[in-house]
Amino acid sequence: MGYLLLFTGKGGVGKSTISAATALHHATQGLRTLLVSSDPAHSTDDVLGIKVGSQPTRVDENFPLWAKNLNAEEMAGDFFGKMEKLMDSSFGSLPGFDSSMLSDLSNFPGMDEAFAMEEIERLCASADYDVIVFDTAPTGHTLKALSAPDFLNTFLLKVLRMKAKIENLKGFFIKKGDTSKLVDLLEDFVARIERLKILLRNPEYVSINLVTIPTEAGFGECHRTVRYLENMNIPVQHLVVNQIIPAFTPDVWAIAPTNPAVALLKTEYDIQQPYLARFKKLTSSTTIRLVGMTRLPFEPRSSRLVDVAHTLWGERGLNFQIKPSLEVQEDSLIIHVPYLGNAKWTKDNWTYRFGDSIHHIPLDKPATKITRKTDKKNNSVILSWAND
């Protein structure tokens, strides 16, 4: 299972930098790490200093670090294209039926991000990576994506009602197989997002982190996000306040009246203080850990991400315990996945299925005399084999 570290926040607050530094930190610990971005701006390329595609791209040959960009709009388009074909084949013979009604469904706010989160669920269910760092689209899209199952369930109910009414009309014929495929397509997608929501509520495997800056807009967005996630029973682990002006010594501030550069810095410092106090108050009555990142004297990208990672994951920074998803021993393999006990395994015990996704255990061993034992207490599955 890939432990999930999710970073969300307003655009322009340094979310991609924080995400990339986090991915680098875990990769340097020897953990197989995948950095995934669904932000349409795809700042990951600029931050890493390499071209990142839709398939995992190796970032550094010295560390097990990969990155990929998700085209959420394209993923949503493919899904609704399938739906439109199935709608046409099921109901296209009806007078006045127009399958383009699905365009309204695809334009539902956050629907594209829902497909990115569906891909995250698939990655988390696999044993391909130990850590998945998810750099989301701006907060609003991410939060609305969590409401997508409710919206799609309403649409699915309408489809089923339409089917029931039409079947009672004489003279109309519905291809039952296509209608069944349409229902299965919708139900599987909804199930995936619901599984992800369950996973997001598990702080042992998932770390939800908000990235913000000390401004009025930054605090307002952050406050709304914390309350929204609280209402969904999804815990926030860290609140990262970025771009803080450091508290210089009194002798530095003393020259502000005669030094315009210091005066400008001191003005911004003073503006930030009330917002920093509000962030402290927001987190004081919660379990959210407040982490501050000062403005840096260098551009935080490419090779300088190492410096950002050291500060971000230092003694006063982010903290999240991770163990490899695969523990290889001489005659056994321990796989850590939260809901792996509910998976459907193949006969050779090296492949398991969730929904319509098939996952292969990335280990080259002969598939003979293998026994499988589920350890629900530790959310693990143990595969053992006899030595020849």
Tell whether 169 and 293 lie within a shared domain: yes
Tell whether 244 and 341 lie within a shared domain: no
Instruction: Please name which of 3, 62, 63, 59 lies closest in space to residue 320, comparing C-alpha atoms.
Output: 3
Structure-model confidence comparison of residues 181 and 214, the more confident one: 214
Beta-carbon-side half-sphere exposure of residue 346 (alpha carbons within 13 Å): 12
| Average pLDDT for the chain | 80
Question: Does position 249 have pLDDT exceeding 90, yes or no?
Answer: yes
pLDDT digits (tens, 9 = 90+) for 299-327: 998 989 999 999 999 988 999 988 777 77
Tell whether 316 and 333 lie within a shared domain: no
Tell whether 258 and 365 lie within a shared domain: no
Question: Does position 328 have pLDDT exceeding 70, yes or no?
Answer: yes
The torsion angles phi and psi of 97, rounded to 5 degrees, stand at -75, 135
Domain span holding position 334: 326-385
Instruction: Please name which of 140, 125, 271, 141 lies closest in space to residue 199, comparing C-alpha atoms.
Output: 125
Tell whether 250 and 350 lie within a shared domain: no
Q: What is residue 201's predicted lDDT score, i.e. its pLDDT?
A: 86
Structure-model confidence comparison of residues 41 and 167, the more confident one: 41
Tell whether 266 and 221 lie within a shared domain: yes
Tell whether 85 and 172 lie within a shared domain: yes
CATH number at residue 257: 3.40.50.300
Q: Which residues are paired to 58 by β-bridges?
A: 66
Tell whether 196 and 296 lie within a shared domain: yes
Q: Domain boundary at 321, 339, 369, which?
A: 321
Q: Which residues are paired to 210 by β-bridges?
A: 8, 239
Section 357-375 average pLDDT: 69
Beta-carbon-side half-sphere exposure of residue 283 (alpha carbons within 13 Å): 22
Tell whether 344 and 205 lie within a shared domain: no
Tell whether 57 and 128 lie within a shared domain: yes
* Strands, sheet with 357-360, edge to edge from the N-terminal-most edge strand: 344-345, 351-354, 357-360
Residues 6+ apart with CB under 8 A from 70: 36, 37, 38, 54, 116, 119
Q: What is residue 163's predicted lDDT score, i.e. its pLDDT?
A: 62
User: What is the biggest distance separating any 2 CA atoms in the chain, rounded to whole angstroms?
Assistant: 89
Q: Domain boundary at 296, 321, 346, which?
A: 321
Q: Domain boundary at 281, 297, 321, which?
A: 321
Tell whether 312 and 357 lie within a shared domain: no
Tell whether 214 and 304 lie within a shared domain: yes
- H or E element: which one contains 17? helix 15-28
Q: What is residue 83's predicted lDDT score, i.e. its pLDDT?
A: 74
pLDDT digits (tens, 9 = 90+) for 257-279: 999 999 999 999 999 999 999 99
Q: How would you label 369-386 residue by residue, b for 16+ Cβ within 10 Å and e otherwise?
A: ebeeeeeeeebbbbbebe
pLDDT digits (tens, 9 = 90+) for 39-86: 776 688 899 999 998 889 999 888 999 999 987 777 777 777 777 777
Written as one string, the DSSP assignment of 46-71 is HHHTS---SS-EEEETTTTEEEEE--
Structure tokens at 349: 């015990």
Q: In the chain, how many domains are there?
A: 2
Using pLDDT thresholds of 50, 70 and 90, give the confidence band for residue 111. Answer: low
